[in-house]
Amino acid sequence: MDFEIIKQTLPLYWEAAKVTLALGVVGICLSLLLGFFFGLVSYFKIPVLQKIVGAYISLARNTPLLIQLYFLYYGFPKIGLPIGKNSAAILGLTFLGSAYMAEAFRGSFETVPAVQLESGRSLGFTKWQLAKVVILPQGLPQSIPSLGANCIFLLKETSVFSAISIMDLTNTAKDLIGMYYMTREFLLLLVISYALIILPMILIINLVERRVRRANYGI
C-alpha cells in the first residue's frame, strides 16, 4: 500500500467529493419536492393526473439510472435539446428519485386511519383541508424512515454519473487507476470517500427518526 500516493491524490478526491455531494443534494431535494406532489396526486386519485403519475412512476422505477442518463445526455441533443452533463445528472437523479419518494409519501399517507378521514368529511372538510389538518400531520412522520432510505439510495446512485464524464468520485478513481495502476490505493480512497459522505447522513436520519418517534409515541 503506497500511502504517499494516497496523500498526494487526496485533494483530487476532495474536489470529486464536492461534485458528488453537490449534485446528489440538489437531486435529492428536487426529488423530495416533486415526490411530495406526486404522492398527493396518487393518494387522492386525482383524475387524469393520477394515470400520468402512475405511468411515470412505473417507467422511472423500472429503468436503470444509467439508461436514463444516457437518454438525457446523448439522446436529447439528437432532437435539438442539448443538456449539460451536470444538468443531465441532476435531472436523471430527480427523475428516478421522485418516483421512489412519491411512493414513500403515498404509503405514509395511507397509514392515517380511515375513521379520521370520515370524521373530517362529516365536518365538511375538502380534500385539501383533510390533507392539511389530518393527513399531513400524521402521515409525514411515518414517511421519514422510507424517505431516509431513499436519500441514501440516491446518494449511492451518484456513482453512475461517471458514465457521462462527470468528474465525481468514481470517475476520479477510475482515472487515477488508469494513470498509476494502483488499484488498491484508489479503490480504498473511493470506499472511504463514500463512507464519509453517507455515514453522517445515516446518523442524521436516525437522529430525526428517534426524535419524531419520541415526539409521537414518547419512546
Sorted by where each begins, the domain ranges of the chain are 3-217
Burial of 38 by CB count in 10 Å (0-12 exposed, 13-18 middle, 19+ buried)?
A: buried
DSSP state of 62: T
SS3 123: coil
> Going residue by residue through the chain (219 aa), what tens digit of pLDDT does each one get?
667 777 888 889 999 999 999 999 999 999 999 999 999 999 888 889 999 999 999 999 999 999 999 989 988 888 888 888 999 999 999 999 999 999 999 988 888 887 877 777 777 777 788 888 888 888 888 888 899 999 999 999 998 998 888 888 999 999 888 888 888 888 899 999 999 999 998 998 888 888 877 766 555
CATH number for the domain whose boundaries are 3-217: 1.10.3720.10
Query: Is pTM beyond 0.85 here?
Result: yes
8 A C-beta contact, residue 127 and residue 47: no
